[in-house]
């Protein structure tokens, strides 16, 4: 376990993402399978669960809440994170966003679905260009002071706005941010330009999402057997340059006795500033395989070979 950013909150190095919990979006897993995944994750030593109000139309929060309500010891042990911003009530302009009215309402709704009286880590899911950041930080601080939230983080927000938010908090005596959630993988490294250096300077632990780029780096798609992408937006990633990286993952995996996906996860977890990598799984087999990535030690020569493959992308 490690501390999340400049805080005293201890989290496991792999976080269980729950965007796949529920079949409401036409893909994912059933509540029964999701419950078995949560139990297996805790049995393996994990303690960090990440969800959001809009995941599977609120069903993801409800699935997590149902299980944690039945197992009070797990709730006490769990670092439970959820997000606000997404509008759950189309037609109501104040039902989503980062304004005071919206934040308080969204928090209360999440607490109801999660069946708990506090949220361990509350994320702003994405940027709100319409609300002054000082209003957002003040409202979030009120939730902390009310005991409804313990820690704060931002997800997919520009570096300049995260910096301003953190400065507002520190200079006004408000609750500071301790974490930053961003997309980060061997195929998505633009965050290394400003977001990750900013996070390290501002005391934010980075929690990468989509470390396998939606399954592109899972190892099931290769140059010889590309297969069919499961979702249309993945199609653009299947080209020779991507397969150069996949070839390197396969070769390194053979040397360290690991699957390509495990090597890709180990690479993300080894990066400077990264605290806890978010796993998105739909089966127990995927969970078990991903957790095994923690036992992989990549040598400098392995990292250099992956870097050479990445350089080919430029």
- Nearby residues of 60 by Cβ (< 8 Å), 6 or more positions away: 18, 19, 21, 22, 51, 52
- Nearby residues of 167 by Cβ (< 8 Å), 6 or more positions away: none
**What is the sign of the dihedral through the CA atoms of 148, 153, 156 and 158?**
positive
- Enter the tokens of residue 192: 């290394």
CA-angle at 204, arms to 201 and 210, nearest 5°: 120
Long-range contacts of 285-291 (CB under 8 A, 24+ apart): 287/16, 287/37, 287/40, 287/41, 287/44, 288/40, 289/259, 289/261, 289/262, 290/14, 290/261, 290/262, 290/265, 291/14, 291/41, 291/44, 291/46
Residues involved in catalysis: 55
Hunting for tokens 């798609």 — which residue is that? 221
CA-angle at 15, arms to 14 and 21, nearest 5°: 135
Residue ranges of E strands in 28-116: 48-50, 79-84
């Amino acid at each position: 376990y490690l501390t999340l950013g400049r805080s005293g909150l201890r989290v496991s190095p792999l976080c269980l993402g729950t965007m796949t919990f529920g079949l409401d979006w036409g893909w994912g897993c059933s509540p029964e399978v999701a419950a078995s995944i949560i139990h297996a994750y805790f049995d393996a030593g994990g303690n960090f669960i990440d969800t959001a109000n809009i995941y599977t139309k609120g069903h993801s929060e409800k699935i997590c809440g149902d299980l944690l309500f039945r197992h009070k010891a797990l709730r006490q042990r769990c670092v439970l994170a959820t997000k606000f911003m997404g509008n759950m009530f189309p037609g109501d302009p104040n039902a989503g966003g980062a304004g005071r009215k919206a934040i308080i309402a969204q928090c209360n709704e999440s607490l109801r679905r999660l069946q708990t009286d506090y949220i361990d880590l509350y994320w702003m899911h994405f940027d709100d260009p319409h609300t002054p950041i000082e209003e957002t930080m003040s409202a979030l601080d009120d939730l902390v002071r009310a005991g409804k939230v313990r820690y704060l983080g931002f997800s997919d927000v520009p570096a300049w706005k995260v910096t301003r938010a953190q400065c507002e908090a520190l200079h006004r005596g408000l609750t500071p941010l301790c974490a930053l959630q961003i997309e980060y993988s061997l195929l998505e490294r633009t965050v290394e330009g400003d977001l990750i250096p900013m996070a390290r300077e501002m005391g934010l632990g980075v929690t990468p999402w989509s470390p396998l780029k939606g399954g592109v780096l899972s190892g099931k798609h290769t140059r010889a057997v590309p297969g069919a992408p499961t979702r249309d937006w993945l199609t653009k990633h299947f080209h020779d340059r991507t397969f150069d990286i996949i070839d390197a993952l396969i070769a390194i995996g053979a040397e360290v006795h690991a699957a390509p996906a495990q090597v890709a996860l180990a690479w993300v977890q080894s990066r400077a500033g990264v605290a806890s990598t978010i796993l998105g799984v739909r089966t127990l087999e995927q969970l078990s395989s991903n957790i095994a990535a923690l036992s992989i030690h990549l040598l400098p020569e392995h990292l250099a070979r992956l870097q050479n493959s990445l350089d080919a992308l430029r």
